[in-house]
Amino acid sequence: MAASTADDVIARYGALEEPGGRDLQALVELAALVCGVPNSAINLITRDHQHQVAAAGIDPSVCSRDDSMCALVLDDPRPVVAPDASVDPRFATNPFVSGEIDTVRFYASAPLVSPDGTTFGRLCVFDTEPHELAADRVTLLDVVAARVVDVLELRLRSRQLEQSLETLTRTQEELTRSNELLSLFAGQVSHDLRSPLTAVLANAELLATEPAVTSDPGLVSLVKGTTDAGRRMASLIDTMLAYARVGATLDRRPVQLDLVLDHLLADLSAVLDERGAVVHRKPLPEVVGDVEQLYAVLLNLLTNAVKFTPADRTPEIAIGAERTDDAWRLTVTDNGRGIPEDQREAVFELHQRVDRSVEGTGIGLATARRAVEAHGGRIGVEDGVAGGTTVWFTLPA
């Protein structure tokens, strides 16, 4: 098998198509502060160009590879430091140093190396004034560069998981088989997803204890931002893996849905009280199913009913059930904005969100549908009796 090129790695990461995001932006700002200079950039080097996917102190841009300072030292496996690039033979005639494009003097960079050993760019810091860089700061720059690669790896693994979830869930005729494969896949990729994330969080915590960081409020804030972003991504991974496992196996037993609703309302009491929500309930039946997954269905529907009711309106939620032939039809009705008719099927697909002003991942209703269909039921949306939305689902009687 031929070795990967930098272009191959960059294309695999999708790094030129996806915005830099808060995590990469936090890392470039951290690099600049650690090295005590105003400018830094994540430079990805393709065959013909240098692409800045995140930058601090300057606007990200694209330039010819021939003009790139990072391209000149791309294959150096170690950090490179030029206290005064104008007298460094590697850079003295470069247009970013000579004045043709800029007058860079101080330059330092660390390699971005993929897990397969391919160098595809560098994390660089620079200034128009000469500087020295202490050895401990060089080490920190190298650590931050490794975290850039971890973030790109984590994004790649997350996309692969989402693509696999979507591929497996489109084949409804093989629902049982796809559920089993999806659960197996979730277990297999869990380690791949968590390894780079664990490295990000561990190194962020390590950076947080460094004297150079603790003595600088700006660095403290940036390291905290990196840690918080990592924890948010960990929560998203947990949500995605939970979605993958829903319906794969059911622990079927008699379930008193009234008791499930009692527990749910107790668990959500703080959320309901905060909004002053009013919940009207009618008796719910006993069914055969997996109590945890049925709890998750009702949890998603009830929390959505609260979340998507406008802030200037007191949420009113009605929960009920009726027998229809050989099934129970359960309903959760709210007094929110409602869902347009042409979007009522799409809301059950992964990452589909009708109202993007409300924070969320777009996974909740997709998870509810998987759980309901695994029980042999169906789920859908219709208009509420007095406006708002009714989400209904059926379970075998």
Regarding whether 289 and 190 lie in a shared domain, the answer is no
DSSP 210-278: SHHHHT-HHHHHHHHHHHHHHHHHHHHHHHHHHHHHTTTS---EEEEHHHHHHHHHHHTHHHHHHHT-E
Number of domains in the chain: 2
Regarding whether 114 and 178 lie in a shared domain, the answer is yes
Give the per-residue pLDDT at 222. 75
Of 140, 183, 145, give the one whose Cα is nearest residue 161.
183
Regarding whether 258 and 322 lie in a shared domain, the answer is yes
In a domain, residue 323? The reply is yes
Instruction: List the CATH number of the domain containing 376.
Output: 3.30.565.10
Regarding whether 85 and 16 lie in a shared domain, the answer is yes
Regarding whether 258 and 207 lie in a shared domain, the answer is no
In a domain, residue 1? The reply is no
Regarding whether 238 and 287 lie in a shared domain, the answer is no
Instruction: List the CATH number of the domain containing 90.
Output: 3.30.450.40
Boundary (domain end) residue, out of 184, 211, 245: 245
Euclidean distance between CA atoms 246 and 237, whole angstroms: 14
Regarding whether 92 and 197 lie in a shared domain, the answer is yes
- Fill in the DSSP letter of residue 23: H
Q: Is 374 helix (H, G, I), strand (E, B) or coil?
A: helix
**pTM of the predicted protein model:** 0.51
Of 287, 282, 285, give the one whose Cα is nearest residue 320.
282
In a domain, residue 362? The reply is yes
Boundary (domain end) residue, out of 189, 214, 245: 245
pLDDT along the chain (397 residues), means of 10: 81 87 90 95 96 95 96 96 96 96 97 95 97 94 94 88 70 52 52 63 76 79 74 61 60 92 89 91 93 86 88 91 92 88 79 51 75 90 83 93
Give the per-residue pLDDT at 242. 61
Euclidean distance between CA atoms 218 and 29, whole angstroms: 10
Give the per-residue pLDDT at 321. 95
Domain that holds residue 278: 253-396
Give the per-residue pLDDT at 10. 94
Regarding whether 320 and 364 lie in a shared domain, the answer is yes
Tokens in use for 252? 């079927």
Contact 125, 31 (CB under 8 A): yes
